Amino acid sequence: MRVFRIGIPLLLMSLLTFSAQLCAQSCSNPLTVCPEEPQSVFITEPAFLNFECIDATHVAVLKFRSNHNFANPGNARIRITQVSCDGASAPDTLSAVVVSAAGDPCDPAGLTAMGPCISGVDDLVWESSTLTHNTEYFLLIGTEHDPSDTVCTMFVELEGDGVTMDACCNHTLIPGESAELEVVGGDPVYGYTWTPAFYLSDPEMAVTTVTPVETISYQVDGVIGDCQVSSSVTVTVGSPIGVPNSFTPNGDGINDFWGIDGIGAFPGTKVEVFNRWGQLVHRSLGYTQPWDGNGRSGKPLTPGTYYYVIELNDESLPIPPETGHVAIIR
């Protein structure tokens, strides 16, 4: 029989780590919960607390900070899920409330409840729209469950406009156009960082101007309280020209030419059209006269699908050639 021994330093380190996790959600050392990051919570702290709907012998204390969104400071939601708090005969009840505290977050004399007090055995939801911007709050979760029997565990998730940071907004542009990107929330004292920095007027400002020549997504990073937060937007760059995918050059005076919207703004445009064998059937420099569906010999081409390459050749818009297909219908 082989015997495996765990080294004393390793065992001690494991015990200390577990102990630190448990102690880091006590009245004297609340656990930080960050927005949109589910936090694992244990209730082990002995604390006789009688406040609102909480009448508990053990309490977990978490803290969070509202953001700097002066326009909409108060909307927040907390979900307590995946609760495992089994008593002798049935799951034990949890009670929870969010408070502002003048001192000790477990001293009822200095607490002010923010929103409702909630109770249940699982799937608890707390909501409020009255939080003050840039303010620290505490979430108190209490139970009479004895942790020497089994430890109550759960996940806590914080969300809502009042505690998150959002980047605004997604845009659809054509090359050469600009738009503003803006951060809503976060802490301006710590600043913001947009990445990548391509096409931005200033990647470290809450409001920055983007003038892209290609579709690009940006992430902005910031801080709320002790939490690193981020958000993202996408700026879609479309073609500055509108290319039809078919036309009917049959001489009836309706849709007889391959008219390309907006192409007149690009006098240096080169348009080439190929058949399915890759043979060039039409070329135009400037495209002042829309294509009539005839080949280079001047004779009408067979109905079918043809393939084009359009180069705008505009130095102010360094965009790649546009490719696609167009159908001739007779």
Looking at residue 103, its pLDDT comes to: 85
Confidence of residue 10 (pLDDT cuts 50, 70, 90): very low
For 167, half-sphere exposure in the C-beta direction (CA atoms, 13 angstrom radius) is 25
Q: pLDDT higher for 87 or 6?
A: 87
pLDDT of residue 73: 60
Architecture category of domain 8-159 in CATH:
Sandwich (2.60)
Categorize the per-residue pLDDT at 5 as very low, low, confident or very high, splitting at 50, 70 and 90: very low
pLDDT recorded at residue 11 = 35
Spell 139-148 as b/e; 16+ CB within 10 A means b: bbbbbebebe
| Better-scored residue on pLDDT, 91 or 34 | 34
Determine the topology of domain 166-237 in CATH: Immunoglobulin-like (2.60.40)
Give 246's pLDDT tier (boundaries 50, 70, 90): very high
> Does the pLDDT value for residue 83 go beyond 90?
yes
Q: pLDDT at residue 61 above 50?
A: yes
Number of H helices, E strands in the chain: 1, 23
Per-residue model confidence as pLDDT tens digits over 109-129 = 999 999 899 999 999 999 988
Higher per-residue pLDDT: 73 or 283:
283
Residue 90 in this model has a pLDDT that exceeds 80: no
Least confident span in 62-76, 247-261, 262-276: 62-76
Share above pLDDT 90 across residues of the chain, in percent, rounded to a whole number: 66
At 21 the pLDDT is 43
Which of 228, 191, 230, 227 shows the shortest CA–CA distance to 208? 191
User: Is residue 219 a contact partner of residue 232, using CB atoms and an 8 Å limit?
Assistant: yes
* CA 77 – CA 98 distance, rounded (Å): 10
Of the CATH numbers 2.60.40, 3.30.450, 1.20.120, 1.10.3470, which one belongs to the domain with range 246-328? 2.60.40
Same fold flag, 166-237 and 246-328: yes
Q: Which residues pair with 126 in a beta bridge?
A: 78
Domain definitions of the chain by residue range? 8-159, 166-237, 246-328
Please compute the mean of the pLDDT values over residues 83-107 and round it to a whole number: 86
* Backbone phi and psi for residue 38, each to the nearest 5 degrees, phi listed first: -50, 130
pLDDT above 50: residue 18: no
Mean pLDDT of the chain: 88
- Percentage of the chain beyond pLDDT 70 is 91
Question: The tokens of 52 are what?
Answer: 């609102």
Q: Give the strand order in the sheet containing 152-159.
A: 39-43, 152-159, 76-84, 124-128
The answer to whether residues 253 and 246 touch, using CB atoms and an 8 Å cutoff, is: no
Give the pLDDT band of residue 185 (cuts 50, 70, 90): confident
pLDDT in tens, 204-226: 999 999 999 889 999 999 999 99
**Position 158 pLDDT exceeds 70:** yes
> What is the distance between the alpha carbons of residues 85 and 154, in angstroms, rounded to a whole number?
8
